[in-house]
Amino acid sequence: MKVNVKKGKIDQIKDQAIILSHFEDQKKLTGPIKAIDDRVLGMISHLLKNKDFSGELNQTAIIYSQDRLPTPRIILVGLGRRKEFDVPGQAGECLEKFRQAFGSACRRVKELGIKSFSTIVFPTDLKEIDLGKASQAMVEGIFLSAYQMDQYKTIKKDRSLKGFTIMEEDPEKIEAIKKGAKFGEIFAQATNLARNLANQPGNILTPTRLSLDAEKLARENNLRCKVLSLPEIEELKMNSFLAVASGSKESPKLIILEYGPTGHLVKDKKIDTLALVGKGITFDAGGLSLKTTELMLEMKGDMTGGAVVMAAIAGVAKLKLPLNLIGIIPAAENLPSGSALKIGDIITSHSGKTVEILNTDAEGRLILADALSYAKTFGPDAIVDIATLTSAIKIALGTICAGVFGNRERLKNQMIQSGQETGERVWEFPLWDDYQELIRSDLADIKNVGGKPGAAIIAARFLQNFVGDYPWVHVDIAGVDFSEKEKPYVPKGATGFGARLLLQFLRDWDGI
Ligand code: BES
Ligand code: ZN
Ligand code: ZN
């Protein structure tokens, strides 16, 4: 899909459709929307007067120009109340409204089979919202909503959008819009890449296949990629990771991606190094602590953490950010079999700490334990991990936001800030020492489960044992990685939640 930014008036453009956004409480039309309304003999005013379209957020309406404009259709989309856009400190919420509104308009475009349309960023002047950011949010909403997964359909409906044009009359604003649009495209493409990976079924996307995809991504984005197989993982003594993988015939892979401003890691005091660790369980049956069919339905997506790490690193490479990144993705299947990890097994992890396994379905923390202590060996300035870790996070927060945990206030706050900016919101949980009591084992140093109450915190606290005091932040995305219903810019299925969150976190990175 191609985005163009052009100088000119929207009422003079010839395209298949024009999308115009409108505020709910804006009674008098002004600017480009007024110019169009005049050309179509007040049809927009009439629509508003008859209250068939109010401008409520995500509401859409279509008007036909009947040859009074070079473009036959005008799609109106509501932005909600204008008043809410004038409140200082609410920019994140407003950007989310832009994202949603243009996502909703784009859904309408898809339903109509339209291939190309034109639009403008602001319907009117907005002082509190940055033009570049609004342009980014708008482009994101369109790209995210245009996403479709029809790879496995033998008969495909062609609903693909070819491109769209953003019109702007003021030449001084063009540069900011162009820059925002470029960011929007890169951010949304990161999400869509993660969605594509997480939507792949377990029989296709095995650990080997994920590692091949990582190598391909590395070739395309000038990243370094190293894939460790069984003998090398054994050599590293990552027994906690290997224990999880032991139930499957598919061999585990440890995927390591590296990005540096010159194509590889740069040794420079001014350039910080961050390790990004993502859970890469390509299918989670639960192991011998077998899940029910119902609970297994979403478990092909248990590698979303790994997918969003891959997508965010590719995004950083496209943006050429001045950072060193190490992506670490332990990839395996969690299946029951004669060789699977058993209840009561005790393993010695990569860190040397012993772990008693009391539930094989709490496998994410086992593979992450080794990946986190391995990440420390690279000596990064901070470690970020992201994982579909616990169903308890979904009970706590629903499907609205993810959970954030960590041992540095600044890191957690940076993640919360990135969540506001991207609409991929995160909510903080505590990690007090009291939780450590719950995972004390009678036989080993630690056990991998600690009861149902507070289970998301317990899982995070388990991970903390493997990072110690190393600066670390953990994001649990188990409630948000999959959407059962269509939302303005989120189709059913994999959401790719976390790709834009990480990308924003890295874009705003300003030291620990
Ligand atoms: N992959 C699951 C967590 C999950 C649940 C992800 C729902 C996405 C949607 C994880 O490996 C798991 O099974 N966790 C268990 C842990 C329990 C046994 C302590 C859980 O949360 O139920
Ligand atoms: Zn599990
Ligand atoms: Zn899992």
pLDDT at 27: 82
pLDDT at 268 > cutoff 90: no
pTM (2 d.p.): 0.97
Ligand 2 (single-atom ion) residues, CB below 5 Å: 284, 361, 363
Beta partners for 75? 19, 62
Q: Which residue has the tokens 């036959």?
A: 72
pLDDT at 247: 98
Question: Which residue owns the Cα nearest ligand 1 atom 13?
Answer: 361
Q: Which residue has the tokens 């050309």?
A: 39
Alpha carbon 267 to its chain centroid, in Å, reads: 29
Residues 6+ apart with CB under 8 A from 425: 400, 401, 402, 416, 419
pLDDT tens sequence across 29-83: 999 999 999 999 999 999 999 999 999 999 999 999 999 999 999 999 999 999 9
Both structure tokens of 434: 């009291």
Q: Is residue 295 very low, low, confident or very high in pLDDT (cuts 50, 70, 90)?
A: very high
- Residues 493 and 497: their CA atoms lie apart, in Å, by 11
Report which ligand 1 atom has the smallest distance to the Cα of 390. Answer: 21
pLDDT at 264 > cutoff 90: no
pLDDT tens sequence across 215-231: 999 999 999 999 999 99
> Is 365 labeled as catalytic in the residue annotation?
yes
Q: Is residue 158 very low, low, confident or very high in pLDDT (cuts 50, 70, 90)?
A: confident
Q: Is residue 376 very low, low, confident or very high in pLDDT (cuts 50, 70, 90)?
A: very high
Query: Can you tell me the mean pLDDT for 137-161?
Result: 93
Q: Is residue 445 very low, low, confident or very high in pLDDT (cuts 50, 70, 90)?
A: very high
Q: Is residue 124 very low, low, confident or very high in pLDDT (cuts 50, 70, 90)?
A: confident
Cβ 42 vs Cβ 134: under 8 Å? no
Ligand 1 first shell, C-beta below 6 A = 284, 298, 302, 359, 361-364, 388-392, 394, 449, 455, 478
Within 10 angstroms of residue 255's Cβ, the number of other Cβ atoms is 27
Of 291, 342, 376, 408, the catalytic one is 291
> Is 68 labeled as catalytic in the residue annotation?
no
Of 195, 365, 394, 500, the catalytic one is 365
pLDDT at 156 > cutoff 90: no
Compute the distance from residue 507 Cα to the ligand 3 centre, in Å. Answer: 29
Compute the distance from residue 343 Cα to the ligand 3 centre, in Å. Answer: 16
Compute the distance from residue 178 Cα to the ligand 1 centre, in Å. Answer: 42
- Residues 290 and 203: their CA atoms lie apart, in Å, by 18
Question: In degrees to the nearest 10, what's the CA dihedral of 379, 383, 387, 392?
Answer: 130
Q: Ligand 1: which of 363, 365, 389 to mutate, most ligand atoms within 8 Å of CB?
A: 389
Compute the distance from residue 475 Cα to the ligand 2 centre, in Å. Answer: 16
- Residues 366 and 318: their CA atoms lie apart, in Å, by 32
- Residues 415 and 308: their CA atoms lie apart, in Å, by 15
SS3 216: helix
- Residues 122 and 110: their CA atoms lie apart, in Å, by 22
Q: Which residue has the tokens 């308890």?
A: 392
Compute the distance from residue 352 Cα to the ligand 2 centre, in Å. Answer: 23
Beta partners for 74? 18, 63
Q: Which ligand is nearest to the CA of 357?
A: 1
pLDDT tens sequence across 467-491: 999 999 999 999 999 999 999 999 9
- Residues 214 and 259: their CA atoms lie apart, in Å, by 13
- Residues 406 and 391: their CA atoms lie apart, in Å, by 19
pLDDT tens sequence across 308-327: 999 999 999 999 999 999 99
